[in-house]
Chains A and B, each alone.
Chain A
Amino acid sequence: MTADTAYDIAIIGGGIMGCATALRVAAGGMSVIVLDQGDLGQGASGVNAGTLSLQIKRVKLMPYALKGHHLWAEMGDAVGFAKTGGYTLAFNAREAEMLHERQTLKTQAGAPIEFVSNNRLRAAEPNLTHKVEAASFCPEDGYANAALTGQYYRGRLRDAGIQYREGCKVTAIDRTNGFALTTPQGTIRAKRILLAAGAWLKPLAALLDVDLPVNARVNTVSVTERMPPLISSVIGHATGLLTMKQKVNGTVLIGGGWQGLGTPQDGRGTVNAQTVRPNLALAQYAVPALGAARVTRSWTGFEANVPDFYPLAGALPGVPDAFVLGCVRGGYTIGPYIGQLMGDAILGREPEMPLFDPGRDFEKDMI
């Protein structure tokens, strides 16, 4: 394709959602190019804790999460998928009440969650603390290895004959004739564009004079060096502020959405010792033997959201042929699926499940 030919669509942002959409529209016959300011899958898609847990998904997103789980299972070893089942723990009466209330609603929404006795919990996870007040279990839960996202999608895009460019930040968008994207690797022309830049959606949409009310959370993850077997399933906390799993190689990954510092505009986030410490404390409380583990790395990832914490998935308001996809709470789990839905919508097909109008009133609960 020469420099002057327009792609059917340029996808800005090579994370899970951008790549999944690219695969869908290419399968539907469109010519596609994926552009990323850094490496593919190196943003939130690549640095999150990799938890695939229905127990921490939002009730109204549960049908999407169930579909997402199936897609991750299909991706399998290439993304380090493991279906281990997961336990969510409450350590006092208040948390136990919260756990009952939340898991009941999630079960009604289709997640196969059950409450388990302390005996069953200890038989399954003997290294957990004995100070558990209540525990729920979901056999569908597990994890994948987020660090493999980039290399996985590079392979998928290549196999599908889809072009991608890394280190290719879009700095201006001209709309006189389709879309002309200014990048350090030259101007790229496309008939349509999809903005899928995660936490960088707001400055990207601003290039089109659209104000998206996107904020970013700065989620922290830590990992230990290899440890002897301590836990065999995903361990969570009633509040959602702990997710923990031990990888096949023995390292223990500790997340839970504790907030670091920095903004996407700064280009990087940093961990905050004031929040890493209680995150690690919670992990050690759940699995006391972790006290002897050495933490080798802590890092942050930017998780984008809008005021109602539901996704942006649909047409970009006021800009014909421009679309936006992002801000999915639980985006790692749901990303591959909602990317397919977005792709269908771009192809002019009716998506299997409804999308989320980016032009909605975010102050009202309209979802």
Chain B
Amino acid sequence: MDEHYDTAVIGAGPAGGNAALQAARRGLRVVLLDEQPAPGGQVWRAKSASIIAAPTTPESSAGDALRSALGASEVTLRASTRVWDIRRQAGAWTLQILRDNTSLEITARTLILATGAREYVQPVPGWTTPGVIGLAGATALFKHSLSLPGNRTVVSGTGPLVFYVASEIRRLGGTVAAIVTPNSRADWARAVPAMLGQPKLLARGAVWLADLMLARVPILWGHAVSDVLGTDHVTGVKTRNLRNSLTGTEFAADSLCLGHGLVPNIEAAQMLGVPIRHVASLGGWVPEAEPDGATNVEGLYLSGDGCGIRGAVAAGLQGTLTGARVARDLGKSAPTPSLRQWQRAARFGQAMTALSHPRPEVQALTTQDTIICRCESLRRGDITAEITTGAASANAVKSGLRAGMGPCGGKYCQTAIAGLIAAQMGKAIADVPPPTPRSPLRPLPLGQAVGDFDYDDLPIPKPAPL
């Protein structure tokens, strides 16, 4: 059964959700697609069916507001849906989607990509040990299943997420063994001016920090986890002071939440021909788009963290801008909202991104034996040897070693590999573009993509000349 819409929105987080709402409000027929069973994205992820009742949080409330607004709107929601291919043909977008183990086609005149972000985790020795999960990954557990990563958890990484994760662990009844953050207090002091623009968020952060201090949770500023201990599962972590390289306290723990900022999910935009550029303050490589989401590709719009990490508040505002822009471009009357609010929210988000940046001192904690590409178990020494023997680009390293050819498609190794190439060849990170992205956007069950077919109906073309 094929479906046709004025606009299709991929990603039902703050940006995609608000873009869909705005576009529908302006009279467009909108379909909103998301992998998750309910809208909310990573930041406003909905609770699973396992939760019958639970206290609200700012995230759950914001998510509930979005979900109820979408529920009351004309937006067609296609949840638990994966998009595996996107093409523009005959002036419209054709999306191949997987739903209920079946492949379907959706067409739409315009397309809004609100693909959000994923997490960057800087490799350190032992980071592949079971029990190490991403900081953002931990928040998915908290929001979806209200469950904990373990009984005693070290929380480590950059930016505000360490404090949020530690605080949530305490709220849900867990124990935080320690917080280990490469950021210094001075880093945070520098971010305060930008944070003043979002006083609610600033106040929340202050409560997290005060609570952790009252609870005497060790907070190691300017430190990083240098080794994860344990073979079959995490038993503890070693730490290091990044200023003087001295060994810090060792902590026993059964779990580690580790993360170093967010990275925009740009692959879909890249595959559709949107140029990308490296903007460190936006989280790395970002596709080029107007503030309201318009791109150089006809009928294609981008919104939210997928075009630069500016945070959930900014993403929601940008979603509304994008929805209005699409409506105007399709001949509907829609106001041109002011950019000022979005810009202010973006300043806050970018200050957090700046705190979260991968740092050279943390990158230096890897050893020759540290795994860089998890899918193929490739170690730093494998990657640097390949670079030494002439592989001068991310594509070349990928081709030669399969770094990025595993099931994750390079999502969790390419930032680190680009860093290694840049360091070894004396290039700027902006001169080491990511490898060519490949379809499908997610691993695609072959039988489900193919569906039922009769052999005689396969459109087999004329064979090659003899």
Contact = CB atoms under 8 A, between A and B. Distances in A.
Contact of B407 (A42, A58, A249, A294): A294
B172 to A, nearest CB: 33
B466 to A, nearest CB: 6
A178 interface: no
Q: How large is the interface on A (under 10, 10 to 19, 20 to 34, 35 or more residues)?
A: 35 or more
A278 B396 contact: no
Contacts of A284: 446-447, 450
Given A39-B392, A41-B399, A151-B400, 9 more contacts: A102-B466, A149-B399, A223-B405, A224-B446, A258-B461, A276-B85, A276-B449, A291-B446, A294-B444
Contact of B399 (A46, A271, A290, A329): A46
B90 to A, nearest CB: 12
Interface of B: 84-85, 87, 94, 96, 103, 271, 386, 389-393, 395-396, 398-400, 402, 405-407, 409, 436, 438-440, 443-447, 449-450, 453, 455-456, 458-461, 463-466
A357 to B, nearest CB: 19
A65 B447 CA distance: 35
Contacts of A240: 463-464
Interface string A34-57: 000011011000100000000010
A273 interface: yes
Given A270-B439, A271-B439, A291-B446, A166 B399 contact: no
Given A46-B399, A150-B399, A273-B94, A298 B440 contact: yes
A281 interface: yes
Main secondary structure of the interface of A (DSSP, over half): mixed
A93 interface: no
A285 B463 contact: no
Contacts of B406: 225, 296
Nearest to A308: B465
Given A151-B391, A241-B460, A294 B446 contact: yes
A278 B399 contact: no
A58 B464 CA distance: 9
B409 A297 contact: yes
A225 B455 contact: no
A261 B48 CA distance: 41
Nearest to A60: B466
A224 B444 CA distance: 9
Given A155-B390, A298-B438, A241 B450 contact: no
Ordered nearest first, which 5 A-B pairs have the shortest CB separation? A291-B447, A154-B390, A151-B400, A294-B443, A297-B438
Contacts of A224: 446
A292 B407 contact: no
28 contacts: A38-B395, A39-B392, A39-B395, A39-B396, A41-B399, A42-B395, A58-B466, A92-B456, A102-B466, A147-B398, A150-B399, A155-B389, A166-B392, A224-B446, A225-B406, A239-B461, A278-B460, A283-B446, A284-B447, A285-B458, A292-B447, A294-B407, A294-B446, A295-B440, A296-B444, A297-B409, A298-B439, A299-B436
A224 B407 CA distance: 9
Interface in A251-298: 257-259, 261, 268, 270-273, 276-278, 280-285, 290-298
Contacts of B459: 278
Given A39-B393, A240-B464, A280 B449 contact: yes
Nearest to A155: B389
A38 B450 CA distance: 34
Nearest to B394: A39
A105 interface: yes
Contacts of A364: none
Given A151-B390, A296-B409, A239 B460 contact: yes
Contacts of A280: 446, 449-450
B396 A285 contact: no
